[in-house]
Amino acid sequence: MTSAIEPQFYLGCAVWAHPSWSGILFPRGSRSADYLRLYSRRLTTVEGNTTFYAMPSVETVQRWAEETPSSFRFCFKLPRDISHQGPLAARRRETEAFVQRMAPLGERLGPFFLQLPPGYSPQQMDDLAAWLSAWSPMHRLAVEVRHPDWYTFGEEAALMALLEQYGVGRVLMDVRPLDLGPLPGAEEDMRRARDNKPDVPLHPLRSATFALVRYIGHPDVARNEPLLDEWAIRVRAWIAEGTTLFFFMHCPVERESPLLCRALQRRLEGTSGVPPLPWDRAVDDGEQLTLF
């Protein structure tokens, strides 16, 4: 369970450890063993992609809790053994085991994140409904759909009604920055990102009191400015309506992801419900990192 009092805006990246962040997000010379501790004192949430590939040990979960402040939020992705191995309804026992494994993180748990595979279409709506009916309301959950049929009017309306029925959030993916033009030296990274991310439209819909946003940024941070301006307006409006946002910056060139976080945060400073970024006061080993 999360704390009864929490901010309405959390900001982070897809991972908490990347060597290119040395000297940007982390002090130069930081040990990889310290990355989570350092990350959690600069940004406020993270996509827990590591759990998509393997169930962490009890000891690992305990270490994650010990290394992060109580204000930090993990948004763990459901393992692919649950989401990508046939009917969801047949994986209820595995789902419960996963949630129980992560439960010791307590208030550090943000919404869990179910990413459905590209082949999972509205024809499997009954399977999704059966799985959601067994999900414990003790924990928040958000769902990302990738099959294009989910984005047609009738099917999307049915999906939103289902998510609302169970108080489940919607994961919104914004891939528009990938179409902002090539960047010399990053062509291969951008091609891989376009191949790996679904080419889905942005429909900014909400089905719960919270939402997850995955922004796939252009490596040239300046080219993102009009879209970041748009998102800042939307975030402020949603917060004013009572929505809590978990906003994740991705980038084909991972070095730029923290810079995208900074760029959005600067647009939101002073907004009610948006706390100052811990990054601004983080000091480790006597070194203060700044970007602007």
Torsional class of 256: left (φ above 0), alpha (ψ -120 to 50), beta (otherwise):
alpha
Sheet holding 112-115, edge to edge: 73-76, 45-48, 9-13, 244-250, 210-216, 169-174, 141-144, 112-115
Residues 6+ apart with CB under 8 A from 58: 101, 104
pLDDT for res 284: 42
What is the residue-wise DSSP string for 86-132?
Answer: S-GGGGHHHHHHHHHHHGGGGGGB--EEEE--TT--GGGHHHHHHHH
Each of the 292 residues of the chain gets a pLDDT tens digit; together they read 444 457 999 999 999 999 999 999 999 999 999 999 999 999 999 999 999 999 999 999 999 999 999 999 999 999 999 999 999 999 999 999 999 999 999 999 999 999 999 999 999 999 999 999 999 999 999 999 999 999 999 999 999 999 999 999 999 999 999 999 999 999 999 999 999 999 999 999 999 999 999 999 999 999 999 999 999 999 999 999 999 999 999 999 999 999 999 999 999 999 999 999 999 887 544 444 444 3
CA distances from 207 to 41, 132, 140, 164, 284 (A): 30, 14, 12, 5, 40
pLDDT for res 281: 83
Q: Give the start-to-end residue ranges of the domains of the chain.
A: 9-283
Class of domain 9-283: alpha beta
pLDDT for res 288: 46
Q: How far apart are CA 255 and CA 118, in angstroms?
A: 28
pLDDT for res 286: 47
pTM summary value = 0.95
What are the two backbone dihedrals, phi and then psi, of residue 46, each rounded to the nearest 5 degrees?
-155, 145
Q: How far apart are CA 40 and CA 72, in angstroms?
A: 6
| Cα angle for residues 285, 288, 292 (degrees, 5° grid) | 160
CA 41 to chain centre: 17
